[in-house]
Amino acid sequence: MKCACWLGPRRIEIIERPKPEIKSGEVLIQVESVGVCGSDIHYYLEGKIGDQVVIPPLVLGHEFSGIVCDTREGKYKHLLGKRVAVEPGFACGTCEFCKTGHYNVCTNMRFLGGPGCDGALSEYIAVPAEYCFPVPQFMPADIASMVEPTAVALHAVELASLCPGETALIVGLGSIGLLTAQFLLNCGASLVAGIDLIPHRTDVAQKLGVHQTFTASIQNSIEESISWIKQITGSRGFDVTFDCTNRSEGIIIACQGTRPASRSILVGISGEDYDRIPISIARRRELKLQWCRRFRYNFPSTIKLIEQGKIQFDLILTHHFRPEQTQTAFEMVSKTEGNLIKASIDWV
Which residues, including other chains, have CB under 8 Å from residue 189's CB and lie 6 or more apart? 162, 164, 165, 166, 167, 168
Q: How far is the CB of 150 from Zn ion (least distance, A)?
A: 11
Is 37 near Zn ion (CB under 5 A)?
yes
Kindly state whether residue 179 participates in binding Zn ion, applying the rule CB under 5 A: no
**Cβ distance to Zn ion smaller for residue 106 or 267:** 106
238-243 and 167-171 strand pairing: parallel
Our CB check for Zn ion shows the closer of 147 and 252 to be 147
CB 150 within 8 A of CB 311: yes
What are the phi and psi torsion angles at 265 (to 5°)? Answer: -105, 125
Instruction: Please list the helix, strand and coil fractions of the chain in percent, rounded to the nearest 5, in that order.
Output: 35, 30, 40
User: Which of 92, 191, 232, 281 contacts Zn ion by CB under 5 A?
Assistant: 92
To Zn ion, the closest distance from the beta carbon of 36 in angstroms equals: 9
Tell me, by CB under 5 A, how many residues bind Zn ion.
6
> Euclidean distance between the first and final Cα of the chain, in Å?
13
CA distances from 266 to 115, 121, 247, 277 (A): 23, 28, 11, 11
Report how far residue 142's alpha carbon sits from residue 129's, in angstroms, rounded to the nearest whole number: 20
- What one-character-per-residue DSSP string does 50-74 give? TTEE--SSEE---EEEEEEEEESSG
Q: Which is nearer to Zn ion, 91 or 153 (CB)?
A: 91
- Which stretch in 100-108, 123-131, 176-184, 257-265 sits in contact with Zn ion by CB under 5 A? 100-108
| Binding positions for Zn ion, 194-223, rule CB under 5 A | none
Distance between CA atoms of residues 325 and 300, nearest Å: 32
Q: How near is the Cβ of 163 to Zn ion at its closest, in Å?
A: 28
Q: Which stretch binds Zn ion (CB under 5 A): 105-113, 181-189, 251-259, 305-313?
A: 105-113
Q: Which of 22, 98, 156, 229 binds Zn ion (CB under 5 A)?
A: 98
The per-residue DSSP string of 310-326 comes to -S--TTTEEEEE-GGGH
Least CB distance from residue 149 to Zn ion, whole Å?
A: 6
Among 1, 14, 67, 95, binds Zn ion (CB under 5 A): 95
Q: Report the residue number, 106 or 251, with the smaller CB distance to Zn ion.
A: 106
Bridge partner list, 29? 68, 125
Among 84, 106, 112, 156, binds Zn ion (CB under 5 A): 106
Select the residue interacting with Zn ion from 5, 27, 91, 317 (CB under 5 A): 91
156 binds Zn ion (CB under 5 A): no
By the criterion CB under 5 A, which residues form the site for Zn ion?
Answer: 37, 91-92, 95, 98, 106
